[in-house]
Amino acid sequence: MFVLESIAQSLLLVGASALVAGVLCWLANAIATQLHRHAWAAFFVLCLVSTIILRSPTHSEFVKLSAMCSLIASLFLWLSHDKNSNNGNRNNIMSGNYNKNIHR
């Protein structure tokens, strides 16, 4: 019975940490979208995670795992933005719409 309880607690800890990381990334992406600076989303996640780690009076396993999941998620945010921004600029240049977008 103890083994099942330990497994269930570990799965719940990982799931809740991943959920917290997802919410932090969503929040950072929403803030960056409102500021029209999509590249800043990963930076916002890093700021939020560092604030949470520094403000936490007790460094529990939940805080540590949430921070690690958030750092991994911020890496994916940064990589996904970089991919989207390069393709968008390249397509605008190739189609001749680059100058039209600058003058708007």
pLDDT digits (tens, 9 = 90+) for 48-62: 888 877 776 667 888
pLDDT beneath 50: ranges in the chain:
84, 86-93
Q: Are 42 and 81 in contact (CB under 8 A)?
A: yes
- Tens of pLDDT, residue by residue over 70-79, are 888 888 888 8
On the CB side of 44, CA atoms within 13 Å amount to: 20
Number of domains in the chain: 1
